Amino acid sequence: MVQRCRILNLSVTAVIVLSIYNVLLTVKLMYNKDDCPHVKIQHVVSQSSAPPKPPCNSQVNDISTDTVFSKLDLKLGRWDNKLIIKYFDNFLVGDRYSQLNEDFTVCLATQSSIEKLSSLVEVSSTWHGAISTAVYAAGDDELNLILLYLIYLRQCFVNIKNRVSFHLAVPKGRMPKSIQVDLASLAQMDCNRPDVTLQQLLKRRSAITAKWRIKNPYPQNHLRNLARKNCHSGHVFLTDVDIVPSDLLAEKLDGFLKKASCTKLCAYVIPTYELDNRIRFPPNKTELVRLASKGLARPFHHKVFIYNQFATNFSKWQTGANEESQEVHISHPVTNFEFLYEPFYVAPDTAPPHDERFIGYGYTRNTQVYEMYVAGYEFLVLSPIFTVHWGLQVKRSRPPWREHQNNQNRKLFDTFKREVFAKYKKDPLHMVANSHR
């Protein structure tokens, strides 16, 4: 009798314990959505080939593309001024996107083709404000792979789900017609390996689309304007998608801008370094400067195209890093502005737009910065904050298509600089005067 009672007691206890465990698991599933590790992309590639894990949040059954992409009607959208690119604003909105635009003074605006979309994982884990992202898709296959990848990103990375809003740009010459996302393949997409997953998806793109993309220039400036104009904070920080902000950059800029007393046209430059792939992301400027002294970090594009960031004056920025205040402050103004300078900067979005006649490579970002300079903007370099591009860049010979695009744009620049002169009646770098010689 006693024996039976004990067994009964034991089984009742077991049932209770199991039930509580079950409830706890459910609660964990409901609330602990941030279970997925935030993978640092560069290092995933070199990691050992661990067996693929299922997505952290593998409840894919209740997704239907009709509801996820209810805002994306390919028959609507709006045209650019030349009717060559069609836009779809906010077709996928971050759950906290509008709120973050109110909470922070600066919104991050960025743009990407399918090839670099995995960079958003790291960017969205360090930038805590709103992120306005313009993506480019040529053809049905590319669009549907992008949409699949965005669902995957939102499922695996809660920061992307919360912070990022996506806008789409499609070319007239290869306009996607239908949305047919292969949701079944989500089950095989590993949350721990966003870049490998993307590489696998890219293999599914048709050869025709891949070829079309190489032959037709990427409309960077259209995408930049699309991303910029969908930011709703007072200021915009426009970057390329593979530029990673330093720790708490949004919060730190907030503190600075609320006190900043800019009486004229100010653009705040945030220095960009390129970093050896083998090292850890530097947690602060002191560490970055130490890495630079060892040759593991250096100004972005220092070897590829020095004019790109030269006027930022990195040697000046680096001196006295040890004694410096940790509060964001102006290190120095840019005093040697030169044509081809293209820093990443923070400014209100009343800055001139990116001129959309420049398509493809060359004269895209620097022409906009040049117009700002002619318009009278002052460029002020901030410290101790920074951004990083992974990988020390070395000069490689450019593919012929890139050289061709650059030459095309150089011709267009001749007209552009005359227009800028006519508009502002100023020629501080003697660009127009010199061309008469």
Binding site for ligand NAG (CB under 6 A): 283-284, 286-287, 310-311, 313, 315-316, 326, 335-336
Nearer to ligand NAG, 157 or 379 (CB): 379
Contact 377, 316 (CB under 8 A): no
Nearer to ligand NAG, 155 or 246 (CB): 246
Task: Please count the other Cβ atoms lying within 10 Å of the Cβ belonging to residue 247.
Answer: 13
Q: What minimum distance in Å lies between the beta carbon of 370 and ligand NAG?
A: 17
Whose CA is closest to 253, among 124, 389, 104? 104
Nearer to ligand NAG, 336 or 397 (CB): 336
If you write DSSP's letter for every residue of 105-124 in order, what string do you get?
SEEEEEEE-GGGTTHHHHHH
Contact 116, 241 (CB under 8 A): yes
Can you say how many angstroms the Cα of residue 387 is from the centroid of all Cα atoms in its chain? 12
Q: What minimum distance in Å lies between the beta carbon of 335 and ligand NAG?
A: 5
Nearer to ligand NAG, 95 or 287 (CB): 287
Contact 414, 435 (CB under 8 A): yes
The rounded distance, in Å, linking the Cα atoms of 253 and 251 is 6
Nearer to ligand NAG, 177 or 316 (CB): 316
Q: What is the CA radius of gyration of the chain?
A: 25
Q: What minimum distance in Å lies between the beta carbon of 385 and ligand NAG?
A: 13
The rounded distance, in Å, linking the Cα atoms of 146 and 150 is 6
Q: What minimum distance in Å lies between the beta carbon of 284 and ligand NAG?
A: 4
What letter represents residue 85's amino acid? I
What one-character DSSP code corresponds to residue 184?
G
Q: What minimum distance in Å lies between the beta carbon of 265 and ligand NAG?
A: 20
Nearer to ligand NAG, 87 or 317 (CB): 317
The rounded distance, in Å, linking the Cα atoms of 143 and 145 is 5
Whose CA is closest to 365, among 231, 239, 237? 239
Q: What minimum distance in Å lies between the beta carbon of 324 and ligand NAG?
A: 9
Task: Please count the other Cβ atoms lying within 10 Å of the Cβ belonging to residue 436.
Answer: 5
**Residues whose CB falls within 8 Å of the CB of residue 208, separated by 6 or more in sequence, listed in order:** 139
Nearer to ligand NAG, 87 or 377 (CB): 377
The rounded distance, in Å, linking the Cα atoms of 299 and 236 is 22
Q: What minimum distance in Å lies between the beta carbon of 352 and ligand NAG?
A: 23
Half-sphere exposure for 146 (CA within 13 Å, toward CB): 27
Q: What minimum distance in Å lies between the beta carbon of 82 and ligand NAG?
A: 38
Nearer to ligand NAG, 193 or 301 (CB): 301
Nearer to ligand NAG, 283 or 428 (CB): 283
Q: CA angle, corner 228, sides to 94 and 70, nearest 5?
A: 40
Q: What minimum distance in Å lies between the beta carbon of 381 and ligand NAG?
A: 10
What letter represents residue 197's amino acid? T
